[in-house]
Amino acid sequence: MHDIRAIRENPAAWDAALSRRGVDAMSSQVLDLDRARRAAITAAEEAQAEQNRASKEVGKAKASGDEGEFERLRALVAAKKAEVGEMQEKAKGLDAELDTLLAGIPNLPLDSVPEGVDENDNVEIKRWGTPRSFDFTPKEHFDLDGVKPGMDFEVAAKLSGSRFVVLSGAVARIHRALAQFMINTHVDENGLTETWAPVLVREEMMYGTGQLPKFGEDSYKTTNGWWLIPTSEVTLTNIVNGLIVDEDYLPRRYTAHSQCFRSEAGSAGKDTSGMLRQHQFEKVEMVSVTHPDKSLEEHDRMTACAEGILEKLGLPYRTVVLCTGDMGFGAQKTHDIEVWLPGQDTYREISSVSTCGDFQARRMNARFRPSAGGRPEFLHTLNGSGLAVGRCLIAVLENGQQADGSVDLPEALHPYLGGKTRLTAEGTLA
């Protein structure tokens, strides 16, 4: 949500920042609504004052026996009461209209975000690891002999339709091991607090992190009004929804391993083979709640946490800063981490780490009380994948594949697999 005072004070700067995201100037529309809303509030207050003055005079007229003045004043009180109600309803309606308008406008990019239209304009800032040279043509994950027995798309389609998968046996165990490895690393080495939270949330929680009202078609809603989370960013960030915390409460750093659900409404025809893009998947999420002065530092810290998982697994990756045209709705700045997939001969996104500034906090009314005193201020929130478990499974399988269809597994996973080091060509662990 945007700060209406900032728009009033410098509408040209606000429009200029929006234009970097490809959004037309909107300050005039916003400020026209704001002026009408404030005018209705002022009119209601003035009518209320007149009603109060007339009410005081009614008693005096009654006591003096001036029946004509008494009736005139009584009629005036009734008229002003109706006027107050009318103006209050008008102000309430305009307030809701303004909130709806502001809720559909994306966050403003930081000045350091590169300008651009789409992913082709993103800027690489780091590259780690060297993609392996194969003496055979590498396959995609779903074509590997050792993977086929444990990755069934036909059964999943029978159960649920397209964009689902059933994992079993060794492949399911590797998938689980990856999630456990990620959580343990974030808790034991990165200082995040492990959290387990619902995957069904109230509508206002989806609004708080920016999924609603604009992107409702991207998620699933139950018949009784709950929403299935697209990521545990929703639950973890909303822990501070409606709160005023002390400054020394900050920072709060959470991580959770959860099921996630996305309709993939805008991805028809994209990544239809394999398990790269699914309706139901698992992620290990990171969320930080910070002091405004610390959010950019925290953004770099969270990015390093996600990168560290890939480094421990020995998976080559690159990190890019998303351009203004490729950023998510609620982000001020985003780092995408892209892992190397030899089966596709390209880098693919495995984590997005974003700082949102106070954009989500304003929607959630989440604030902190400064230690030095003064009025409560809005928190800053950040979120990032640490990592997408299914995509990490794909990367492990493709990067470790051997000519016979087996897979050499990263050393970091061996303790989670009972000391097993390989997925054999027959689909068992050895």
Catalytic residues: 262, 277, 349, 352, 391
Q: Output the known binding site for L-serine.
A: 231-233, 262, 285, 383, 385
How would you classify residue 302: left for phi > 0, otherwise alpha for psi between -120 and 50, otherwise beta?
A: alpha
Q: How far apart are CA 165 and CA 145, in angstroms?
A: 17
| 131 contacts 412 by C-beta, under 8 angstroms | no
3-state SS of the chain: helix, strand, coil percent to 5? 45, 20, 35
Separation CA 257–CA 381 (nearest Å): 19
Binding site per annotation, positions for ATP: 262-264, 349-352
Binding-site residue positions: 231-233, 262-264, 285, 349-352, 383, 385
Q: Is the peptide bond before 387 cis (omega within 30 degrees of 0)?
A: yes
Give the 3-state secondary structure of 18-62: HHCCCCCCCHHHHHHHHHHHHHHHHHHHHHHHHHHHHHHHHHHHH
CA distance 342 to 315: 11
